[in-house]
A = this chain, B = another copy of it.
Amino acid sequence: MSQMERKTAGVPTLKRLPLYLRLLRKMKEDGENYASGTVVAKELGLDPIVVRKDLAITGAVGRPRLGFPMDEIISAIEEYLGWSNTSDAFLVGVGSMGTALLGYKGFEQHGMRIVAAFDSNPAIIGTTVHGKTVLDVAKMPELARRMHVQIGILTVTASVAQGVADKMIEGGIRAIWNFTPTSLDVPEHVILQREELASSLAVLSHRLLVENSL
């Protein structure tokens, strides 16, 4: 059928892959040449079968008794996630969350680089946050188009989220990482990734409640 046989992984698998990658990179630094699914599973507290199946989907091939060659498995995961080439991203909304994300050094290891930050507040525009000068959000769409930026990080107030998202799409941005508590309305072809702190908190709260009522 297709020339590039890329098996489709489910969301749970995709979410585990970065955990493997982080551990494997550390193991490599420690001088390990092979990593078995068994070891990875034990280290992360997961089921070995899950790990094996997840790793299999990247196309990596392991050796009995030894596991997966370290370099191969690491690049297989990176390739699969599209992290072998870093993508550029724009961040809009330099509030608490935006500032925190600008300060996070790890994104480059996850295939992404925040190349510019934007805000609408004149008091913030022109200031430097974590080494990046904050630009006027009005210039964002055109810049996005000129620089072929594909990823937009949305850390604005909920009330303006939809408007800013529209501007991102206008600038040709294809994927929006949404940190606002807003259900965005976007065209079919735009990828939405919602980050919901409240959802995680709900899981935690409910578990706590159940435990307390035992």
The CA of A208 and the CA of B83, in the complex, are separated in Å by: 11
State the number of copies, please. Answer: 2
Within 8 Å CB of A207, what residues of B?
Answer: 175, 191, 193
Within 8 Å of chain B (Cβ to Cβ): is A34?
A: no
Within 8 Å CB of A200, what residues of B?
Answer: 15, 177, 193, 195
Cβ distance A99 to chain B, nearest Cβ, rounded Å:
6
- Beta-carbon contact of B183 and A45 below 8 Å: yes
Cβ distance A112 to chain B, nearest Cβ, rounded Å:
6
Within 8 Å of chain B (Cβ to Cβ): is A132?
A: no
The CA of A31 and the CA of B159, in the complex, are separated in Å by: 19
Among listed A60-68, A100-108, A134-142, interface-contacting one: A100-108
Within 8 Å CB of A208, what residues of B?
Answer: 82, 87, 150-151, 174-175, 191
- Beta-carbon contact of A196 and B100 below 8 Å: no
Within 8 Å CB of A209, what residues of B?
Answer: 81-82
Within 8 Å CB of A102, what residues of B?
Answer: 96
Q: Tell me how many residues of A have a C-beta within 8 Å of chain B.
A: 64
- Beta-carbon contact of B22 and A205 below 8 Å: no
**Contacts A14-B203, A112-B201 given; 19 further ones with Cβ under 8 A?**
A6-B213, A9-B206, A17-B202, A18-B196, A18-B199, A19-B196, A19-B199, A45-B183, A82-B208, A96-B130, A99-B100, A107-B201, A111-B201, A112-B205, A175-B208, A177-B201, A191-B204, A193-B200, A193-B203
Residues of A bordering B, CB below 8 Å: 4, 6, 8-9, 11, 14-19, 22-23, 43-45, 80-83, 87, 95-97, 99-104, 106-107, 110-112, 130, 150-151, 174-175, 177, 181, 183, 189, 191, 193, 195-211, 213
